[in-house]
Structure formats: structure tokens, C-alpha cells
Structure 1
């Protein structure tokens, strides 16, 4: 089951897997070649959030969970860690180093991860089942819960559906915001933050009524959000200024984007209008694996 992805400056896609293996895979959308195993984490079952802080320097969430029909996801509390994965030598000789940055003994289910500050070495990490957002200093390993409010929380009776899921820092109209999706509450939210990641104001519902949101990204201008809807097998575009929601691709009755989990833009000059998405392949109605996990490419120029 594929979970999250990051696009390298060279154009290749890194994809993480959950339940099916603790792996990072790479594929080249230009060469259309078979996926290459980049790294497998010993002692873990799953890899989730991934983000690049500096060129070829990635930070990823690893932990233990199981997945089964009807029951769904069962995470193991306290099994979660964040690693620094260095791909500097990967293209030359296939060498990859992975260094554990920190364990999270109190975490229930770490999921989405995003860069908060390059200068300070800070990342946000969502604990989806605890309903809180952590800050980790990747230089020191220090971490703490930074954000915990009614919009990050898991609301009963959704005890086995993620609360806060995807996280992304973006400046909008001169204000630094943390945008975050809440799967159980079916909403995208945002709140002003300070440069150290502490709350700078109250959270607000940015867009309500989207069915089971997962991860998301912004376009290069910051004017639009592209959101994966794992529950309805769709990718939608949200205009940040008007909050208007437009369907980009997918259909609740189609397996084309079955359980789409994350969205990222291409980084090459010829794919800047392309978004790549990961599918975990599970039917959200009965949680059976309907199609194989996959990475798909959506050409916005064709879809417009």
C-alpha cells in the first residue's frame, strides 16, 4: 500500500509504503522503468510522511501498524520514529544512509510531515490518532506537541479514522499559516503560526465538507491547494482566495484513483503542470484491497 511521496529535483518520485513493507521506492516517470527499492527500514512495518529539507536530504516517519478489512488501520503506540535519509551518493553508486533522529514513545500514529523552518531545522509531524501536531528539531532530536485543538482532534465515533493528517506551511497574504487536513472531521483547516511553530492565532475551518481528506500540496504560486480525498477517490483544487473547490480527477464510483493518499507537483521544466498522486488501493467502504498501490500522473494541461 503506497502512502506518501516526494519528488526529487532530478524528477524521480520517492514513494513510501505502509503495512505492505517499511520501504521507500523510486520510479522515473520519464523513463517509465520499474520501481527501484531505495531503502527498507529494519524493525518497522510502515513508512509514511516524507519531506525534503535540503537537496537529497529527506526526513521520513517509520513505525508499526497493521491493516485488515473491516478493522482497518491498527497502529502500535510508541513504535514511531523519524529518520534522516541521505541520498547524496545514491545516483552515483546506490548508497543510502538512514540515521534515526528521534523516537516518539508517546505517539499513537505519526503520519503527515512537512518542513517548518530550514534555518532552524524544524519539521511538523501529525499524530493522526492522538489528534495533535508535533514539532521536531532534526538537528537535536528534541520534540514536543505544539498544536492541539478541536480541529486537529479525532472526534467520536471516528476512533479508527485519522484526525489531523496532512500538514503544510504556507505564507498567504503576508501571514504564515499551518494548513492541515482532518480526515475524521472532513475538513481542511488553517491557523496562523509563529516562526518557531507555536500558534500565532486561532485555528479556522478553511473548507468543510470534503469526504475523508488525506495529504495535499500547494501549487508554485501558493494560489491553489491540490487535495487528495481518500474517501471519494478524487483530487480537488481549492482556490485559496475564494475557497472554491473544483474537481480535478477521480470519481467515487471509479477505481481510477482508488484511495488516493497524497499529491505532489513535478519539479522539471517539462512537468511543472503535472501532479503525481499515490494510491493505496483499498476500497474505503469495506477496506479490502481493490487495486494495487500505484503512483499516477495527472496532466493539468490536459485536464483543464
Structure 2
């Protein structure tokens, strides 16, 4: 006899089977396992994203310009999403990683970098803090510089939160990576002080000038904290157990899977799977806890998931929705010629 939970899961799986996994729509609904939330103009490139400052909105960075956008998710499945330009970082060319380090406060990487030859550039990390005012009394966010990294020795990319500052605590901590040198740094958003905490051969590119460690995510499993990370050049997915306070390694560096050019990744706490945005392959990949890789959406020769760059799970009612940003194929046109505008997409992972 099925329990009530088992019955619900069985019915949900049957519904997913009937609906299929390739239908695309202009908004997320409970009827489409893959959908497009919002599409920008052709030539755009969305690089990274975070949920917030409310559960019904997504912050997205652009690499083709120094723009931070807020995409408002539609409450009605038959309505369209809307976008809001949150801030233009006028002294920079691009934005990269973003992470929420305190409630409604986000760290953002801004830089002057070359995407054509992957040369190092000048970078800064900013704080974007949203007020807690309820609608319709929203105020503009406060944007402040956290620190400069001006020595043209960096190619900053992925970012994740190590420790969130809660009420009564003084500091939070974020980690960010340098893709060209294969290093991960720890940063205090309150003081701007940063320092090297992780460096390993699994993080480094196979040859100078390529991208090594790219996407990074902290994950707590039981009593242990891990850093999950990918290496674009070696096409590997890896992890290392770390100290939750310092970010330093407390266990071996382990390779979990290999085979796709990964841009960013996210951990599924319900299943233990890792979802990988395989940018140059134009696919979304699922890696199971035993290391099995499977393409769950997209294809190399199709625009379905053209150049996925990053992924994050929603919150609240959308906790089983995976939001993914794309380049529209800007970095590697489909079949050598096809591109489209960058998209924010939604995937109902239990149907994939």
C-alpha cells in the first residue's frame, strides 16, 4: 500500500511523463518542465544569478555590460515576467559572480576583462543591499564598494557564501575564485579583507590562458561542509571538505565526474545530485552521487539551452524549480552560426 507521500510522488511522476520534457513557454508553469522566463536582446550574455531580494525575483549579472538586473517572476502563469535595471557599474565592462551574504545583501564581482583572449583584468567586489521596505514602498538599493583587486593579476569568476551574517553576528564570509590561476579566496564583505584559502591541481587549467575553477558552491551535508567546484578546462566536477569558518581544506580534493565544459553548478539537497551548466555543449547535465553524468535538457546543435552559464534553486514554493541563465550561444554559436538573446530559464527538476 502506498503512503500519501508516495501516492503524490507517483502521480507527479506520471504527470511529468505525460507532459514530456521539451516543451518551452514564455513563463514557468506547473505544466511545463522547461520554460523561458525572460529573454534579453540578441548579443546579451547573462553570467550569474541569485534568488532575491524576494523569493519571487531573480538577480542576474551580465558579462556583455556592467549591468545588474532584477527579473520579477510572474505570480500568474499566464502573465509575463518583467525586468528592472538595478544598477550600472559604470567604471567596468562586465559583471560576473553574485551571492547573497546577508538577508537582502549581495556581493557582486565587477571587472574590466577580456573574453576574447581570457586576459587578466582589474576587478572590484561590491555590496548591493536592498531595503526591507514592503511594496509599494521599495527604495533603491545601496551600492558600496567592498574591495578593489587592481593589479591585473586576476580573472574573477564564481562566488559563493561560506557563512551568512545573522542577527547579533558581526561578519559574514564569501568565497570567490580566480579561474586563470586556479585559486579560491576568502573575503569579509564587512572589512574588505581577503586572502587565499584553497589551491589545488584540480582547480588549475591544464595550460596557461585557459579557465580552470569556474563555478563554486558551498554545501553542508550532515555535519560536514564542502566546496563543490568545476574546472572548465579539464571538464571535471570536484569537491573538497572545508572548515566552515575559515574555508580551508580539511579533507582530500576529489573528482566526482568529468566530460563537459562546465561553467557553473548547483547542489540538490533533496537528492544529492549536482546540476551543471555545460555552456559550450548547450546542455544541462545532472551528476548523481555515484558520479553518473546524464544530459537532462538541451542538445549541442539546438537553441533549447543555448550556452547555459549558471543555475540556482528557487525558494519557498519554487524550491524544486531550477533557474538557469544563458549566453544565447554568444561564446560558441550553435552549428557555428546560430545565436539568440540571453535567457533566464526555469526547469522543474523532478520532471527531468
Q: Shared topology, TM-score over 0.5? A: yes
String of CA shifts for 1:79-124, please: whole Å, max 9, x gaps.
1111110111575334111111111134421110000112541111
Choose from 128, 145, 154 the match for 1:85: 128
Aligned counterpart in structure 2 of residue 131 of structure 1, from 176, 182, 185: 182
Q: Kindly indicate whether residue 316 of structure 2 is the aligned counterpart of residue 268 of structure 1.
A: yes
Q: Per-residue CA shift, 1:112-139, capped at 9, x if unaligned?
A: 0000112541111011112111111112
Partner residue in 2 for 1:5:
49
CA contact (8 A) 2:160 2:217 kept: yes
* 3-state SS in 2 of match to 1:155: coil
Following the alignment from structure 2 to structure 1, what is the Cα–Cα distance between the partners of residues 338 and 200? Answer: 33
Query: Which residue is 1:142 aligned to?
Result: 193
Q: CA offsets per residue over residues 201-250 of structure 1, 9 Å max, x none?
A: 221111122x210111122436221111012111122222x222232211
Identify the residue that residue 200 of structure 1 maps to in structure 2.
250
Q: 1:111 to 1:172 in 2, by over 3 A?
A: same
Structure 1: give runs of 5+ residues left out of the alignment.
Answer: none
Q: Flag the 1:247–1:185 CA change in 2: closer, same or farther, 3 A.
A: same
Residue 35 in structure 1 maps to residue 86 in structure 2: no
Q: Using CA pairs under 8 Å that are at least 6 residues apart, name the structure with larger relative contact order, 1 or 2.
A: 2
Deviation at 1:294, TM superposition (A): 1.2
Corresponding residue number in structure 2 for 1:122: 173
Q: Report if aligned partners of 2:205, 2:234 keep a CA contact under 8 Å in 1.
A: yes
Asked if the contact 1:89/1:96 (under 8 Å) is kept, the reply is: no
Structure-2 residue corresponding to 1:181: 230
Which residue in the other structure is 2:156 paired with? 110
Distance 1:134 1:289 in 2: 37
Higher-Rg member (1/2):
2
1:173 deviation in Å? 4.9
- Residue 328 of structure 2 corresponds to 281
| SS of residue matched to 1:202 | strand
TM-score (norm 1): 0.89
Give the aligned CA root-mean-square deviation in angstroms: 2.1
More helix by share: 2
SS of the aligned residue for 1:35 comes to: strand
For 1:167, which of 189, 207, 216 is the aligned residue? 216
Q: How many residues align?
A: 292
TM-score (norm 2): 0.77
Q: d(CA) in 1 for partners of 2:214 and 2:80? A: 30
Shift of 1:74: 3.7
Select between 104-113 and 175-184 the one with higher mean Cα deviation. Answer: 104-113
2:340 counterpart (287, 291, 296): 291
- SS of residue matched to 2:295: strand
Structure 2 distance, partners of 1:231, 1:293, is 14
Structure 2 CA distance for aligned equivalents of residues 83 and 285 of structure 1: 29
- 2:179–2:211 contact (8 Å) kept in structure 1: yes
| 3-state SS in 2 of match to 1:49 | strand
- Aligned residue in 2 for 1:227: 276
The 1:116–1:183 alpha-carbon spacing in structure 2 relative to 1, beyond 3 Å, is same
